[in-house]
């Protein structure tokens, strides 16, 4: 992990694997003039690309279990993962058409279908780009910020931090994933999906409001950090709807939102008032991932003197 300064803002960044995409690898050609030798070369390249697409789809289908997509596993399966007909049904296409795609046949596919397929197969941003290059010979348009997929390696990281509250946000501050400690501290699983947003919870969730100490200081700090992300996408309809809804129900938010304060800090301290424990101050840091800049991991850890009682509180049933 390293810190980098972008526009005066210090950001923590986790190193990611290099994502190198050579356009020629995907069978893209330029120019209309083509002799017989060139045509044969192009045909071989396209055949290879379709074969790679077929292999890629099969490999990604095999790693998804029925339970991961809400299906009831019934009967004995000859191969691991989802069946073709299951993928086709969830992606909204016919089994014959999807089978042709997995067989590497020369058929056209729409961007809408590819995005649906990405969701079914739980592809991350690098895999999505690879799928587009194989299927359409061009990179995809950027996904909306709310459509981020949390990679399996990050979910595994969260699982391995049982005593440190941690969660993943997109740049709209929707909470996409969390660990048990993060859930105990913030109560994400108690929120309906539409309300599982860090800014919304700060101003609209009474339990979190009672825990942030003092609330006015903590809420203002969170809001000025949110503004840093808002100015990157001021025309985002979902962001506008979020701020308008909060302005309509919370006078304090409405007043503070009009103020020009913006805070670019990616780390600091936050104090919580917890049942049976009283006040505890935690250090926090926000890290972004090179593989998907729209995702950020928020990680909390207790100070030395509070480590043992806070850990006991996290592990308690109440």
Please, what is the average pLDDT of the chain?
80
Residue 169 has φ and ψ, to the nearest 5°, of -115, 155
Residues 180-221: pLDDT tens digits? 999 999 999 999 888 999 999 999 999 999 999 999 999 999
Global pTM value: 0.58
Worst-scoring range by mean pLDDT, 125-129, 220-224, 257-261?
125-129
User: Does the pLDDT value for residue 1 go beyond 80?
Assistant: no
- Topology of domain 152-315, CATH: Beta-Lactamase (3.30.450)
**22-138 and 152-315: same fold?**
no
- Residue in 119, 212, 203, 171 with CA at minimum distance from that of residue 298: 171
User: Does the pLDDT value for residue 274 go beyond 80?
Assistant: yes
- Topology of domain 22-138, CATH: 434 Repressor (Amino-terminal Domain) (1.10.260)
Residue-level pLDDT at 158: 93
Place of tokens 């073709």: 84
Going from N- to C-terminal start, the domains of the chain cover: 22-138, 152-315
Provide mean pLDDT across the span 36-55. 66
| DSSP class per residue in 215-255 | HHHHHHHHHHHHHHHHTTSTT-HHHHHHHHHHHHH-HHHHH
Alpha-carbon distances of 42 from 37, 56, 205, rounded to whole Å: 9, 21, 59
User: Does the pLDDT value for residue 54 go beyond 70?
Assistant: yes
Residue-level pLDDT at 72: 72
Are 276 and 266 in contact by the 8 Å Cβ rule? The answer is no
Residues 98-137: pLDDT tens digits? 999 888 887 888 888 888 898 888 887 778 888 888 887 7
Provide mean pLDDT across the span 61-79. 78
Residue-level pLDDT at 14: 38
Banded pLDDT at 41 (limits 50, 70, 90): low
Worst-scoring range by mean pLDDT, 6-10, 45-49, 184-188?
6-10
Residues 72-84: pLDDT tens digits? 766 677 777 899 9
Residue-level pLDDT at 77: 75
Distance CA 122, CA 140 (A): 16
Banded pLDDT at 35 (limits 50, 70, 90): low
């Amino acid at each position: 992990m390293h810190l980098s300064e972008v526009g005066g803002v210090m950001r923590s960044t986790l190193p990611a694997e290099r994502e190198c995409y050579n356009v020629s690898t995907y069978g893209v050609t330029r120019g209309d003039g083509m002799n017989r030798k060139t045509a044969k070369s192009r045909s071989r390249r396209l055949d290879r690309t379709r074969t790679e697409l077929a292999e890629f789809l099969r490999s990604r289908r095999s790693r998804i279990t029925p339970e991961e997509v809400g299906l009831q596993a019934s009967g004995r399966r000859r191969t691991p993962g989802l069946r073709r007909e299951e993928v086709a049904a969830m992606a909204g296409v016919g089994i014959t058409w999807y089978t042709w795609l997995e067989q590497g046949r020369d058929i056209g596919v729409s961007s809408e279908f590819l995005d649906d397929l990405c969701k079914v197969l739980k592809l991350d941003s690098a895999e999505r780009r690879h799928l587009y290059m194989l299927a359409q010979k061009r990179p995809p348009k950027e996904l909306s910020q709310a459509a981020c997929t949390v990679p399996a390696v990050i979910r595994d990281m969260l699982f391995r931090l049982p005593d440190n509250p941690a969660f993943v946000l997109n740049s709209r501050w929707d909470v996409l994933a969390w660990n048990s400690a993060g859930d105990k501290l913030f109560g994400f699983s108690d929120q309906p999906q539409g309300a599982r947003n860090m800014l919304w919870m700060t101003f609209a969730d009474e339990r979190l409001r009672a825990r942030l100490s003092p609330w006015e200081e903590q809420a203002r700090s969170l809001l000025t950090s949110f503004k840093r992300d808002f100015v990157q996408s001021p025309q985002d309809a979902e962001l506008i709807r979020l701020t308008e809804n909060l302005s309509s129900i919370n006078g304090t938010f409405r007043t503070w939102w009009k103020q020009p304060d913006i805070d670019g800090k990616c780390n600091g301290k936050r104090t919580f008032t917890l049942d049976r424990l009283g006040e505890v101050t935690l250090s926090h840091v926000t890290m972004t991932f090179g593989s998907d800049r729209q995702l950020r991991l928020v990680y909390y850890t207790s100070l030395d003197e509070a480590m043992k009682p806070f850990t006991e509180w996290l592990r308690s049933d109440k």
